[in-house]
Amino acid sequence: EWPIAVVGIGNPGRALARSGTFASRGFRVAALLDVDPRLVGTTVGGIRVEHGDDLAAVVQREAISFAVVTTSPEAAQGVADRLAAAGVRAILNFAPVRLTVAEGVRLRNMDLAAELEVLAFYGARAPSGAGGSFQELAGRDGPGGGAGGPALVGAALEAAAAGGFEGAAGGPEATDPAG
């Protein structure tokens, strides 16, 4: 079981923290961080939200190697830099901005608009009257199947429907210095 941190506990962060997607894939949400005083100290999905200023200490205490960023676009790059400096080796970015990271850190920039296009493509191609979900139509290994696939995207889309995203920039691009 891999401990992960979710940074940014607005609608998207809360939806991801509460979803069972991570646990079903061998990841445990071990830490939630935010800088909003209205959120710090609250509990989401059974986990207390800690202040973002404590990020490095939380990463060390929980032995976190993976993080999910769901902050504002303005805060996301700084958060990614601080996560990398604290020792996080992989970041899944849901903030609507393309991030860059230091060598040795893996990064996935998720673009919800592109994921919706994939769903629309498969939905439009479904035979008339065909049952099944978009997940079944797209398949786990088809387009949009990376970085958690349709289940994780579904949790993010749920957050978007709740007003958590104001757009997305960049594509679902992996940054891997090893090639």
CA-based diameter of the chain, in Å?
54
Q: What is the pLDDT of residues 39-98, one digit of tens each?
A: 999 999 999 999 999 999 999 999 999 999 999 999 999 999 999 999 999 999 999 899
Which helix H or strand E contains 34, and what residues bound it?
strand 27-34
Contact yes or no for 38/49 (Cβ under 8 A): no
Band (pLDDT 50/70/90 cuts) for residue 132 is low
> Could you tell me the sign of the dihedral formed by the alpha carbons of 81, 82, 86, 87, in that order?
negative
The confidence band for 177, taking pLDDT boundaries of 50, 70 and 90, is very low
Look up residue 63 and give its two tokens: 């032995």
